[in-house]
Amino acid sequence: MIETDDLEKKLGITFKDKDYLLQALTHRSYLNENPSFRLGHNERLEFLGDAVLELVVTAALYKKYPEKPEGELTSLRAALVNGDTLAQAAGEIGLNDFMLLSRGEKKDTGRARSYILANAYEAFVGALYLDQGHKSCEEFIAKTILVKVDEVVEHKLWKDPKSMLQEEAQEQEGVTPTYRVLGESGPDHEKLFEVGVFLGKEQVGRGNGLSKQEAEEKAAEAAIEKRGWK
């Protein structure tokens, strides 16, 4: 069993109900190997945290950029709350060292682990909301996610790969990219998708992800790099 005291000290946050924090760190796979564990997995907390995160980030962007239109604010928010950003934030605050995982999941350090960490970040936000309310969540998200907004704006990271590819493909080659699922593998709850992106009949990139959207974004990134548009 993990001890959460070190994580709380690192974050400067003390939970009144430690079970909220412990459950936020509990992945479904851990319960498969430890069915007698007294708490559930973190997916319900993730569901709650996702909503809290989106509200906090939306309000912060609305206040910070009064001149930006709705479409650009939406893209900015998407860049701040996507899986890669959340996984990075989770790693920076050390959630990876405290996760309750199955033996198999502990060995995986690739995309699947990033997906787990992104979900754990959202679950942590959900746990914090239940334990301490909206204000504490605002402060935590400001320190871990909103600090990245200036970099996102400066480097135009808010333009997601699919949008960038479509703009460049239409401008440079007069064609709109199309996406096709090339294959699926893995269990239903963690299915891995492989997607190809095509300009006309030419496949210009492929990518893997734990959702079709993620795989499409990776394929678009590969296509942008292949064409030298990045």
pLDDT at residue 133 is higher than 90: yes
Q: Which fold would CATH assign to domain 5-153? A: Ribonuclease iii, N-terminal Endonuclease Domain; Chain A (1.10.1520)
Q: Look at 23 and 211; give whichever has higher pLDDT.
A: 23
Which residue among 46, 105, 122, 160 is the active-site one? 122
pLDDT value at residue 75 = 84
Q: Which fold would CATH assign to domain 161-227? A: Double Stranded RNA Binding Domain (3.30.160)
pLDDT in tens, 1-17: 577 889 999 999 999 99
Burial environment of residue 45 by CB neighbours within 10 A (0 to 12, 13 to 18, 19 or more): buried
Question: Tell me, what amino acid is at 151?
Answer: E
**Torsion of Cα atoms, 137 then 138 then 139 then 141, to 10°:** 80
Which residue among 46, 50, 160, 216 is the active-site one? 50
pLDDT in tens, 187-226: 877 789 999 999 999 999 999 998 898 899 999 999 999 9
Average pLDDT value over all residues in the chain: 91
pTM over 0.85: no
Fold agreement (5-153, 161-227): no
Is residue 220 a contact partner of residue 162, using CB atoms and an 8 Å limit?
A: yes
122 has catalytic annotation: yes
pLDDT value at residue 158 = 66
Distance of alpha carbon 15 from alpha carbon 35, whole angstroms: 25
Confidence of residue 36 (pLDDT cuts 50, 70, 90): very high
pLDDT in tens, 66-96: 999 998 898 889 889 988 899 999 999 999 9
pLDDT value at residue 190 = 78
pLDDT in tens, 142-178: 999 999 998 888 766 667 788 889 888 998 999 999 9
pLDDT value at residue 1 = 56
pLDDT in tens, 104-130: 888 777 777 888 999 999 999 999 999
Going from N- to C-terminal start, the domains of the chain cover 5-153, 161-227
pLDDT value at residue 186 = 85
Structure tokens at 65: 């950029």
